[in-house]
Structure 1
């Protein structure tokens, strides 16, 4: 039975379908060549290894991803207590393997001497010598070797043919590791027991291209759990420009001299209003609630350090000395919704008399709430106070500090289940921060987890490769499981600090908006950079962003001598716009200036607009980087679909994403005219630029006033200035 690729996957796979193991039995034969075996606890902290002798066809079956050809494994020893079955999916080039524990594995037989206590072991595939994996720690940092992790692990070669290996359930207790030249995937070693009937599925997904591999694997994962990707504007955090106070922001554990936090942030809002910077929300970080190490104010560098090392939360309520009238009154004065930070709770927290907690271990003295109603209480309060996004931070740290979460196959999942359900009942969404890879994948089960941090805390003045490379690579994992990646805050101006001064605010802003996620500066009073921030949004603060996060091109995963290059896109009725940014992270390696469209994954020709130079390049099949570029500077390009019989739209040249679906609700070309529907705010002024061989004519159909138009013959650029008179306008430009 030939495998049939699903319609959503087919478009990305046609070009290399000949490589994929598509015929019945090819994927299971591929696995057999890797000499698979089952590993399991055998008592006294040791592992028993039993080879899989064969897989025998067992007819057809149904899976959450559609029909499949089933196989039953024959083990070399029969009395193992584990059975193995597999399925070649018909609608995806994937193989799923289930390990079922027919008998309970009691505590006496478990041991934590191994990272993988039970699972599948096999040879590492020689045809895929390169690896991309994600560390089992906060923010899921990428690695080019196999590191202990819940997964996924991508094996690939220099042609970017690949196989992705990951768990397909029980993500929090999954674990993968290298064992010499072998590879293990199964359950983590801290489990104290495994119940009878427990089944752990693994998936092997065959694809080509690094970004494409994550996209394809993500389609399968989301279909398996019936998760729809959140809309680009589904919550206030991912929809609007916001103001942040977390680590890296100027007002992190710091206020203006002589002011409370409330007064400081209200001053920030007043200044933003005067500058016409339309913040849509404010974020409150861990300074806003009392912790064990608070002294008088809970702010300042000494208190921050003690909070970082020790300070569990005592209450998740506003400190009265910082917000005398509470968070609800502050939100009302601000006139904006809030995103609010949460961390772990201390063992001496104020809730223990009313809710059950389990104590953790270590100097931070953590305690974990085991009752669902605790999260119901938190989210109910949050909604009343004006909080719309709950930011759960220190996720991986809590996982490590609370053995209770790691010792059973269900405790961790119940934790995240309860959090998600409670927030959903209040109409709230959640941001994961400091999540490990298992938590990324677990989010595929929750419709209201919309965003996740994919890089470490922002530190102005530090080498940019520390943040930008992990951010854009781990964004592939976030996007695959249906989450919008969050880079973290940034300073939009130079000179806000003497130490940790931001010297590349333009690049920080650019990489933020290209993420398709949140854009959240954390500037000092007097330093909010209005012209720069307005490159990211409309007059009302709605972000003008691409359809998907910018991710590294495939070439970035092997040796290269060009700029660190990322790409994203916007699909329209006249074709796909691509946005390409190259960052000079390693100046000594920058030798190759040209990148062919084929290396970018772009088919066909495009007009190439240099955003930095404000002009089009001559070639239509490649981009040409500048000969010189300062360290951490960017070269930024827009690849514009060319219309043969109508003007070609560059879009808004003063915005980083010149054509965003938040602005251009429709685009169509017919009869020598380009027609468009625009969205915005009454009174908003727009400049649109087109490229045309001769001067076109612009005509407003509705919703706007034509202010001016001009045509420059040398550049063939036609500019139109409009003032919107309503929230929606229609315009056409043509001959």
Structure 2
């Protein structure tokens, strides 16, 4: 690694991306194609309700000095990424060579175009929180890496002129633009991964994303940090424990690696890092009924969502529905039961409120779900599951964390998850929809106060479903929930569209699907009507103008090929046309292979 004028230079594989570190100014630059793609902002940490910066004079708000008390280098070999050079920096809030409170490290790899940015905390740190409101997720309590982005109308840095491909807001499927100012805020709804690319040379690009601790490791343009692009602990964490660490990965493309190729490479490396198999490599992938069969949904937007046949129970409605499908030779191979069947907070019978008791109400399914599956539908079932309410009936036996907002309660014991999944397996359930994932962070501030609770919720879901042999669908995920699936082998599918409820554009899932598929998850759009008009539907005068387009997207996204139309108003000709297309496409894929 060459050195000149106190600047150390570290090159990654084939010099595709390089790090320039200035030990005098404590600044660094990321060089690509002989240009400064990223120029660093100061190192920052917030604890004891105080900001500390390596360059307080550059900040827009008062901060105390952060002192670099030690710098050292080493070489090593990572099992996944290979040989690396490592530059580590130890920081203290007092100007002494002892008692460092934060270590930041660059790892530059020789066999991959990768730089890792690592943060390590050798001691407990308290007083890190910057508030409990939802907007606090736009702040970070540690910033490494941190890259300058223009705030005013003048483009001062190359990053302001790069194209971006990333999540920009929840369910905003545009996902691309130029520069980050005025469009990218980060936090719960933006970034991670963030792809930046040369507008005139698409195979010159870089991906930046969290590599570890996804539920706490955020990307933001923090208002307290000059709106720089900053990676680190989100601003609602109250404290961290000794030996905690987090890592951000920067992956640069090689020649002829365009946007699709670099995203797929990023996903492959992430899967390798977590030892997770891509869903397409699993032995039962092509026999998965959810991918290969026709199904019937009753979720939001469906005719029978909280809307059964007049004077009938839901059980009787399903009997009528099954009879109609058999009569018309419509080969429905699975049915979905949405949230109308279980008990909710304050005994609410509508969609709102968390789970009070996860058992079928007798006014909905008087004979239970097991009888419905075994004697009436005779197909696999998919069932809806959301967050638990603070008045749930399980708290006398199992430990829960009740949110201070009074809405959301999180089960904390693995044994509870095991019970729920074992119970529904006996009912004939093969897939569980974990819906309202956004509520864990949006409606329960307490879940984000520490570094464990939110992540452990996902891990409990993973282990419980694995033991029971049940697959998971993630629905309404936030950005950290999406990449947290890398630690969950049971999440096979993810709904990447908005609800099908008077939203005629929710078929547009192409861009977001690139990211979810890269990390081994099957993306899909929500359900759709098979006719433009559904008489007496609960959605007023809503009509569906894109029946065939919806069918094609549902088919080609490899997600659920399902319908949600009223009995007697299913367009069976459209259904059979879809089946013919499906067979034709499958045969085409077989020939190509």
The alignment's TM-score, normalised by the length of structure 1, stands at 0.65
Change (3 A) 1:319 1:138: farther
1:218 to 267, 272, 278: 267
Larger radius of gyration between Structure 1 and Structure 2: 1
Q: Contact between 2:210 and 2:217, CA under 8 Å: does it hold in 1?
A: yes
Q: Following the alignment from structure 1 to structure 2, what is the Cα–Cα distance between the partners of residues 361 and 42? A: 23
Matched residue SS, 2:43:
strand
Cα displacement string for residues 449-480 of structure 1 (whole angstroms, at most 9, x for unaligned residues): 101111110124x442xx233x2222122112
2:124 to 93, 104, 120: 104
Residue matched to 1:183: 229
Cα shift at 1:398: 2.0
Cα shift at 1:519: 1.7
Cα displacement string for residues 19-43 of structure 1 (whole angstroms, at most 9, x for unaligned residues): x964359432352752254221143
Residue matched to 1:134: 167
Cα displacement string for residues 350-404 of structure 1 (whole angstroms, at most 9, x for unaligned residues): 1111111111133x62222111111111001010011111111111112222233
> How large is the RMSD of aligned CA atoms in angstroms?
2.9
Q: Contact between 2:78 and 2:84, CA under 8 Å: does it hold in 1?
A: no
Residue matched to 1:522: 564
Unaligned runs of at least 5 residues, structure 1: 2-19, 538-653, 669-735
- Larger helix percent: 2
Residue matched to 2:246: 200
Bigger shift: residues 246-255 or 348-357: 348-357
Residue matched to 1:27: 18
Cα displacement string for residues 47-74 of structure 1 (whole angstroms, at most 9, x for unaligned residues): 5346999998945422242312222134
Cα displacement string for residues 181-207 of structure 1 (whole angstroms, at most 9, x for unaligned residues): 621011111111111111111001112
Instruction: Tell whether 2:148 aligns with 1:123.
Output: yes
Q: Following the alignment from structure 1 to structure 2, what is the Cα–Cα distance between the partners of residues 75 and 370? A: 35
Q: Give the number of aligned pairs.
A: 516
Q: Contact between 2:494 and 2:523, CA under 8 Å: does it hold in 1?
A: yes
Q: Contact between 2:276 and 2:486, CA under 8 Å: does it hold in 1?
A: yes
Cα displacement string for residues 74-104 of structure 1 (whole angstroms, at most 9, x for unaligned residues): 4687665111222233443221111111222
Bigger shift: residues 488-497 or 383-392: 488-497
Change (3 A) 1:390 1:414: same
Change (3 A) 1:139 1:314: farther
Q: Contact between 2:70 and 2:89, CA under 8 Å: does it hold in 1?
A: yes
Cα displacement string for residues 320-352 of structure 1 (whole angstroms, at most 9, x for unaligned residues): 111111000000121011110011222111111
Change (3 A) 1:117 1:181: closer
Higher normalized contact order (CA 8 Å, seq sep 6+, divided by chain length): 2
Q: Following the alignment from structure 1 to structure 2, what is the Cα–Cα distance between the partners of residues 329 and 117? A: 53
Q: Following the alignment from structure 2 to structure 1, what is the Cα–Cα distance between the partners of residues 532 and 466? A: 40
2:448 to 403, 406, 409: 406
The alignment's TM-score, normalised by the length of structure 2, stands at 0.80
Cα displacement string for residues 540-594 of structure 1 (whole angstroms, at most 9, x for unaligned residues): xxxxxxxxxxxxxxxxxxxxxxxxxxxxxxxxxxxxxxxxxxxxxxxxxxxxxxx
Q: Following the alignment from structure 2 to structure 1, what is the Cα–Cα distance between the partners of residues 139 and 424? A: 38
Unaligned runs of at least 5 residues, structure 2: 2-10, 21-28, 56-65, 150-156, 178-182
Residue matched to 2:403: 360
Q: Following the alignment from structure 1 to structure 2, what is the Cα–Cα distance between the partners of residues 238 and 41? A: 47
Q: Contact between 1:136 and 1:149, CA under 8 Å: does it hold in 2?
A: no
Change (3 A) 1:204 1:259: same
Cα shift at 1:111: 3.2
1:421 to 455, 463, 466: 463
Matched residue SS, 1:256:
coil
Cα displacement string for residues 162-188 of structure 1 (whole angstroms, at most 9, x for unaligned residues): 211111010011211125462101111
Matched residue SS, 1:317:
strand
Cα shift at 1:431: 0.7
Q: Following the alignment from structure 1 to structure 2, what is the Cα–Cα distance between the partners of residues 136 and 173? A: 18
